[in-house]
Amino acid sequence: MDPFAPVLLDISDGLTKENVEAMKFMCPDIGKKRLEKINNGIQLFQCLREMNLIGADNTRFLRHLLNNIKRADLLDILTNFETHGPGPQEQQLDPEEQAKLNIAKEVISEQLGKNWRKYGRKLGVSDSKLDHISTKHPFDLMEQIMELLKEWQKMRGPEAKVDSLIGALRACDFNLTADRVQKRLSEA
């Protein structure tokens, strides 16, 4: 399997229609007819790969495109690939810890409320990723929080632990939510 394909898929998933249009504008070498048929990031990346403008060992042009559309959160995905390589395909958590995390994420998404950004910063999620989450789910607070928690778990990989989530809640003075997480975990 191509190690660069999942990176391009992750980046494509984060692109808005406006982002894709802006990126297409910066790719006149593709040709007008072909550009008109491109509707999403995957199609654009496929075209750029066919033209050898991007690849696992050639990320400069993709970096240029993402810089120009001011998507630092997506640049982080690319930088991570450049720094660490493809890495393991899936870093698995202990099933028991994953079950605890699922319970904690459910309680937190139900209880946290509008101060989720403060919590995200305490968890170490970048402001650009927080902005992307807000844009992706502008009117759904619970989805914003769930997306934040998914992003945090993806960042932490096998290091993701419920104790970290509870500790960050307490550090933000969200003690009631932290207590509810612990209560629900003790009942499970």
Q: Do residues 131 and 68 both lie within one domain?
A: no
In a domain, 132, yes or no: yes
Q: List the structure tokens of 47.
A: 């075209």
Query: Total structural domains in the chain?
Result: 2
What Cα–Cα distance (Å) separates residue 136 from each residue in 133, 139, 158? 5, 9, 26
Per-residue pLDDT for the chain (188 aa), expressed as one digit of tens each? 577 888 898 899 889 999 999 999 998 888 888 889 999 999 999 999 988 889 888 889 999 999 999 998 888 888 888 776 665 444 556 778 888 888 999 999 999 889 999 999 999 988 888 888 888 888 888 889 988 998 888 888 778 899 999 999 999 999 999 999 999 999 87
Q: Is residue 107 within 8 Å of residue 169, measured between CB atoms?
A: no
Give the per-residue pLDDT at 85: 67
Whether residue 75 sits in one domain with residue 131: no
Among residues 51, 84, 117, the one where a domain terminates is 84
Shared domain for 136 and 117, answered yes or no, is yes
Same domain, 102 and 160: yes
Residue 104 class from Cβ within 10 Å (0-12 exposed, 13-18 middle, 19+ buried)? buried
Mention every residue, 6+ apart, whose C-beta is less than 8 A from residue 54: 45, 48, 61, 62
Q: What is the extent of the structural domain holding 34?
A: 5-84
88 class by beta-carbon count within 10 Å (0-12 exposed, 13-18 middle, 19+ buried) = exposed
| Phi/psi-derived region of residue 14, left when phi > 0, alpha when psi is between -120 and 50, beta in every other case | alpha
**Do 106 and 181 fall within a single domain?**
yes
Give the CATH number of the domain where residue 165 resides: 1.10.533.10
Q: How many CB atoms are located within 10 Å of the residue 138 CB?
A: 9
Quote the pLDDT of residue 93: 62
Task: Show which of 36, 60, 84 is a domain's final residue.
Answer: 84
Q: Global pTM?
A: 0.55
Whole-number pLDDT of residue 58: 86
Is the same domain home to 117 and 182? yes
Residue 140 lies in a domain: yes
Query: 147 and 104, same structural domain?
Result: yes
